[in-house]
Amino acid sequence: LAQVREQTQLYDPLRRVVNVFEDVWYGYSAVDEAFYQQYCQNIDQLQRLMP
């Protein structure tokens, strides 16, 4: 995240993906179908922004 902080177009979607991953990994968030679908959309958006 630190490496792309100045690239707000990339930073914000990446931050969302990383935060969700960490919340689920450490057990702070449970995953249901809607949560998973939103996460997939965030990943898709991030992939479209990558060069």
pLDDT in tens, 20-36: 999 999 999 999 999 99
pTM: predicted TM-score of the whole model, two decimal places: 0.79
Count Cα atoms within 13 angstroms, Cβ side, for 41: 6
Q: Are 35 and 29 spatial neighbours (Cβ–Cβ below 8 Å)?
A: yes
Instruction: Give SS3 for 48.
Output: helix
Assess whether pLDDT exceeds 90 at residue 45: yes
Question: Which one, of 42, 41, 40, lies nearest residue 14 by Cα?
Answer: 42
Strands (E), the chain: none
Q: Where are the domains of the chain?
A: 2-49
- Mean confidence (pLDDT) of the chain: 93
